[in-house]
């Protein structure tokens, strides 16, 4: 299947995670991209919008991949608060935490061919962020298309909300700094299959009700658009996932109804949830007619969330046209911020979903 490609994408803190200090210290802000550098062809995973400044993005988990020959490269980082993980040649990542807008040079590389991946690991509900471009002296062709595409739809559990935090009690800034979508269940599942993937998830959002009834678009209402706060429809090219993994319902049911909300009873909320969720899946099936669907839900809220997820899968199965299954998840430690799944929990969730999906393509499976 084709991998959509772009030839140009529209005070910094570094967190070392195992790479040599020389490589980490070599990522420095500079004035301009040199004249002898050229825009690199880039594969972009996730939803982006082209703009004069580069590629604007807001849904989590966006990643940028390219390849070049030489001993240095340049990144054009635009506006917006973001945390990026930069990986060269499949090594350990270096994190760029809230880098100021500007051009960044990656040096201290051995002269030769290099692969490059940059992942957005933070959540960006407050506003879109921009990547302006990736550059090097000699571009190399991108790798062949991956054999599998997987789309992930969900809430904070899919985003990886506060999943690297050592404590449960967190400030808003703590949550932002300890959220790492690349260590959440979506990235782990995609890595298992060697898949290209999208993470279309928003913390706090539900199917019909957001956390504690707060106003704002629910996930199905936000889903059609390229950015969270924009009304520009997302129109993908070359995106036709084999699997769609969905986890929603935590925010619909984790808090009590308030008198001013539109559901008079819990039963009314539950029925609205099932009907709307089924309609959402039917819409996705029309968009991706060849995809199989896997729903998963935790046993939180005295089992109500899982029970409602199972009810949705059962309702879809009764129609008989959509390949769908449900995975109940229990036994989570929830030591992340505000009792969210931690990275060990993410591995447990991923393993359960992988077991349900099974093999997709021989060349995409782990050895």
Question: Is there a contact between 186 and 198 (Cβ–Cβ < 8 Å)?
Answer: no
Instruction: Respond yes or no: is residue 122 known to be catalytic.
Output: no
Which structure tokens are listed for 119? 């992942």
Sign of the torsion formed by the C-alpha atoms of 279, 282, 286 and 292: positive
Question: Is there a contact between 185 and 294 (Cβ–Cβ < 8 Å)?
Answer: no
Q: Which residues contact 176 (CB under 8 A, 6 or more apart)?
A: 81, 83, 122, 123
Question: Is there a contact between 109 and 88 (Cβ–Cβ < 8 Å)?
Answer: yes
Phi first, then psi: give them for residue 349, nearest 5 degrees: -60, -45
Torsion of CA 159, 228, 271, 259, to 10 degrees: 100
Dist CA 130 CA 133 (whole Å):
9
Question: Is there a contact between 201 and 154 (Cβ–Cβ < 8 Å)?
Answer: yes
Whole-Å CA distances, 295 to 85, 240, 244, 313:
29, 18, 8, 7
The catalytic residue among 6, 26, 124, 156 is 156
What amino acid positions are annotated as catalytic residues?
A: 156
């Amino acid at each position: 299947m084709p991998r959509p490609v772009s030839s140009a994408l529209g005070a910094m803190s570094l967190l070392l995670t195992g790479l040599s200090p020389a490589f980490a210290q070599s990522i420095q802000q500079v004035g301009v991209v040199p004249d002898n550098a050229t825009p690199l062809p880039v594969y972009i995973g996730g939803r982006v919008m082209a703009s004069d400044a580069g590629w604007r993005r807001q849904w989590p988990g966006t990643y940028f991949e390219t390849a070049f020959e030489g001993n240095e490269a340049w990144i054009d980082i635009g506006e917006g608060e973001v945390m990026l993980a930069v990986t060269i040649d499949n090594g350990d990542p270096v994190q760029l935490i809230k880098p100021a807008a500007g051009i960044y040079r990656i040096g201290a590389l051995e002269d030769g061919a290099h692969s490059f991946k940059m992942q957005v690991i933070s959540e960006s509900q407050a506003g879109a962020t921009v990547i302006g471009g990736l550059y090097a002296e000699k571009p190399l062709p991108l790798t062949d298309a991956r054999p599998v595409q997987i789309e992930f739809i969900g809430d904070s559990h899919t985003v990886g909300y506060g999943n690297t935090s050592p404590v449960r009690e967190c400030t808003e800034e703590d949550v932002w700094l300890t959220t790492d979508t690349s260590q959440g269940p979506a990235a782990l599942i995609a890595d298992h299959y060697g898949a290209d993937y999208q993470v279309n998830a928003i913390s706090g959002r539900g199917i019909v009700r957001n956390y504690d009834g707060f106003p704002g678009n629910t996930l199905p209402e936000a889903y059609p658009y390229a950015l969270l706060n924009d009304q520009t429809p997302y129109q993908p090219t070359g995106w036709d996932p084999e699997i769609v993994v969905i986890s929603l319902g935590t925010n619909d049911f984790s808090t009590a109804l308030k008198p001013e909300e539109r559901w008079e009873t819990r039963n009314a909320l539950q029925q609205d949830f099932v009907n709307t969720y089924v309609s959402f899946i039917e819409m996705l099936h029309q968009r991706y007619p060849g995809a199989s669907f896997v729903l998963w839900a935790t046993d939180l809220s005295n089992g109500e969330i899982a029970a409602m997820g199972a009810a949705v899968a059962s309702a879809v199965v009764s129609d008989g046209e959509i390949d769908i299954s449900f995975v109940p998840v229990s036994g989570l430690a929830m030591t992340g911020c505000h009792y969210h799944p931690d990275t060990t929990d993410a591995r447990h969730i991923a393993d359960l979903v992988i077991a349900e999906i099974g093999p997709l393509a021989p060349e995409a499976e782990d050895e």
